[in-house]
Amino acid sequence: MLYRRLIVRLPSMQTMSRRQLSTSPPPRSQKRARVDYLTKDDFKNGVFLAPMVRSGALPTRLFALKHGATLVWGPEIVDKAILHAKRNVHPDTGVVSYDGVSRAIFATHPIEKPYLIYQIGSSNPELAVQAAKVVQEDIAGVDLNCGCPKPFSTHSGMGAALLTEPDLLCSILVALREAMPAHITVSAKIRLLPSREDTLKLVERIVNTGISNLTVHCRTKSMREKDPATIERLREIRDFVDAMGKGIAVTENGDCVSYEDTKRVKDITGADSVMIARGAESNPSCFSPTPLTDLTETLIPDYIRLSRYLDNHWSLTKFCVAQFTGTRIKTTKTGEHATRQAIIASKGYDGVNEFIGEWSGAEVFKSIRDAIEARPARRASTGNAEMQTELEMEGDEAKEPYASSSPISQPEDGLVTPEDTQNPEPPSMTMKLPSVTTRTIPSMISGVDPLTPTPSVILP
Ligand SMILES: Cc1cc2nc3c(=O)[nH]c(=O)nc-3n(C[C@H](O)[C@H](O)[C@H](O)COP(=O)(O)O)c2cc1C
């Protein structure tokens, strides 16, 4: 199931150093590995982590995967933002960081690659393709954001502006499908249009571009997050796409808060899969039938340990932790408040030593890696060439593993994204960038890191 499943299957690989691995080429039988790529069927029967600027940071995605998210979307990255980034691979942790001039634009880790959908903000087919090509070796699929209603996006023709420019929207999807290798899926996330007819017309065109999944955020462009999502409108879209007979998955998004809640949403909508944003922002374990409670004790310390281990910028870690609420059973409100205040007051990881205790980030990472690797294999190919491929693994690939029911609530502590801010992710001019294996990405533009919009009151 994994792209580099070979790495997982090699005996005692996890206990061997990379130096050991690189000294002897793998035996012939191990060189040929079956590689199952993400297919459109992998978008069915899933519970997905939604794209979320800032809140969808790498540690959050990894915890979501550990607790059962089937696939995870990365935060929207505007096409130009990634074009001049340098790809750095941390030799110890394997974190892949796409670093801009002043900040990390995007960070990922090879263990999430088979499940990672990279979301692009774009209004230009060529730029979208260039952006996708920059990251394609680290992702399973690309998704086009066609739902962000914020002026920052829509003024430049991106996000929800694409909903009323179907020619442009579809030309981007077609360009991505043509340019990406077959094993990289292409998908789109849209909002509803006000009328049924217009929505279905748009859906028909989008489905005909060759996408693997269509996610529908069941709000219109003018609706706010406090307006209930009109999820009942999804059923006719689901039926319509079914009738097109292309086997494309339709994913519901909007107001689903947990694994348990997906049953309600699926009953109403008939959706193949469900995507959760704010429920996961407040508790990344919401994908589990038994989500964590008392997050101050059960999640936050490990989240901070892992974040430090992965070099996640402290301000981004702090921001994400501030969103975690979950259900409180044993912890007292006062105790929780004190802990949270201590975290918020801290200027860096060292400031929370007392609370964190042992810095065992590597162990937290290992527990996540073990959970991901223990996931059941994706089902066998149905014979479609797009669905499964056997690749001759180069010896070098085997040598280097790393050349690789929570209610929605607001954080108490005021660490929310200010309205109308434009995303810095992570928001740092002083971030320590890893000084490691570096590859320069050909650049269309240079010198400035273009900004990605940060949703706040208005959600994409
Ligand atoms: C903090 C935050 C950031 C978001 N960033 C994105 C984004 O980058 N791309 C996107 O398509 N939607 C983004 N969204 C919208 C969500 O993906 C989702 O469509 C919306 O929140 C509705 O789902 P929910 O009811 O589960 O929250 C964001 C939402 C939040 C709360």
Give the per-residue pLDDT at 193: 98
Reply yes or no on whether the pLDDT at 239 is more than 70: yes
Mean pLDDT (the chain) is 81
Atom of ligand 1 nearest to the CA of 453: 8
Q: Which of 146, 148, 170, 286 is catalytic?
A: 148
- pLDDT tens digit string along 403-434? 322 333 334 443 443 333 333 343 333 344 44
- Whether ligand 1 lies within 6 angstroms of the CB of 46 is answered as no
The percentage of the chain sitting over the pLDDT mark of 90, rounded to a whole number, equals: 66
Of 257, 261, 268, 331, the C-alpha closest to 296 is 331
Of 306, 259, 253, the C-alpha closest to 112 is 306
- Whether ligand 1 lies within 6 angstroms of the CB of 278 is answered as yes
- Of 82, 144, 256, 278, the one to substitute when testing ligand 1's pocket (max ligand atoms within 8 A of C-beta) is 278
- pLDDT tens digit string along 43-89? 999 999 999 999 999 999 999 999 999 999 999 999 999 999 999 99
- Whether ligand 1 lies within 6 angstroms of the CB of 119 is answered as yes
Residue found by looking up tokens 């696939």 in the block: 71
- Of 53, 190, 219, the one to substitute when testing ligand 1's pocket (max ligand atoms within 8 A of C-beta) is 53
Per 3-state DSSP, the chain is made up of helix, strand and coil in percentages (nearest 5) of 40, 15, 45
Give the per-residue pLDDT at 379: 54
Q: Give the whole-angstrom CA distance, residue 18 versus residue 402.
A: 9
Give the per-residue pLDDT at 86: 96
Give the per-residue pLDDT at 355: 84
Reply yes or no on whether the pLDDT at 387 is more than 50: no
Mean pLDDT of 271-277: 98
Is 389 in a helix, a strand, or coil? strand
Reply yes or no on whether the pLDDT at 23 is more than 50: no
Reply yes or no on whether the pLDDT at 26 is more than 90: no
Reply yes or no on whether the pLDDT at 96 is more than 90: yes
The question of whether 148 is a catalytic residue gets the answer yes
Q: What structural domains does the chain harbor?
A: 37-291+411-460 (3.20.20.70)
- Whether ligand 1 lies within 6 angstroms of the CB of 99 is answered as no
Nearest CA to ligand 1 atom 8: 76
Q: Give the whole-angstrom CA distance, residue 449 versus residue 437.
A: 21
Give the per-residue pLDDT at 381: 40
Mean pLDDT of 366-393: 63
Give the per-residue pLDDT at 52: 97
